[in-house]
A and B are shown apart, each in its own frame.
Chain A
């Protein structure tokens, strides 16, 4: 590896210093993890380091909260229905309406975004009728129209989170 030993990857917040081995594990091993008896030794062989170094480095990344785990990422939405919904909420009511939306068990993401449509959330339920019922309930309780923007087609292939900058 020809990269410098440490690189700052965060300039807004406290800098995260990463070794060349850490950067390599973060960038190159988000997919294609070896399915063999000693996968960490196999990664070590590919990178020219020991199995112990690979395991210790992954453990350190996990302890520092930079990775959540080494393991499978499951395909969501294989069962059930979901939609992306948006509302244009008057600024003065945003906290209250956001709380109303978050209180729904079927809502798993709920974000404020910088736009006239300023509240964006994802509703997931066993079927489309239940998704619609949740949106109707939110409209009734808030008195604000909800845009219903279900996924029609995904062009995206998940190869991992791109650490591009």
Chain B
């Protein structure tokens, strides 16, 4: 996708959020020297093109009490990974679901999914339900809860779309 100068300024002006005023797109437009309709059209296009994957309330899950973070890793036969990957990704509580290479002999797991919850017990109970309901009990797996966070850089993606415009 080719980003115009106005697109880039728009992205920069909304990365901290939409103004909480009656006509937020008009407020953005005033700062960019364009019209409300133009801002709405550009935001629609950024979503249609996949640059913006969703728009809405961005929650702070830790502040809401979601402190238990389990990375669940699975060793899935190659011919079943498509089915199981889609199945796990469709679970309401799963926040990521990625295929990654095995690193034998140290690391046999090729599917990674993340479950965030308020308590470990709730996360483990939900995982057990998913395993039971989908007959996944025979697939080797491990659960790696997070302990300490040493570094978590704020998710500010504006710089990437802007650079992508030149690439």
**Interface positions of A (Cβ within 8 A of B):** 9-13, 16, 25-26, 29-33, 35-41, 51, 55, 58-59, 61-62, 64-80, 84, 86, 88, 98-99, 101-102, 107-115, 117, 120-121, 145, 147-165
Contacts and interface: CB of A to CB of B under 8 A. Distances in A.
B145 A114 contact: yes
A161 B116 contact: yes
B66 to A, nearest CB: 8
Given A12-B67, A102-B151, A70 B100 contact: no
B4 interface: no
Given A37-B23, A72-B14, A113 B54 contact: no
B67 A112 contact: no
A66 B63 contact: yes
Contacts of B164: 78-79
A139 B117 CA distance: 33
A47 to B, nearest CB: 13
Contact of B118 (A10, A69, A117, A153): A10
Given A74-B160, A86-B107, A112-B147, 10 more contacts: A66-B64, A68-B59, A70-B58, A73-B58, A75-B51, A75-B52, A78-B160, A112-B148, A157-B89, A162-B93
Nearest to A159: B54
Contacts of A58: 20, 57
A30 B92 contact: no
A108 B157 CA distance: 12
Interface in B128-167: 142, 144-153, 155, 157-158, 160-161, 163-164, 167
A163 B55 CA distance: 17
Nearest to B142: A115
A148 to B, nearest CB: 7
Interface string B19-41: 01111111000000000100010
A10 B20 contact: no
B80 interface: no
Contacts of B95: 156, 161-162
Nearest to A32: B56
A152 B64 CA distance: 32
Contacts of B60: 65-68
B64 to A, nearest CB: 6
A16 B99 contact: no
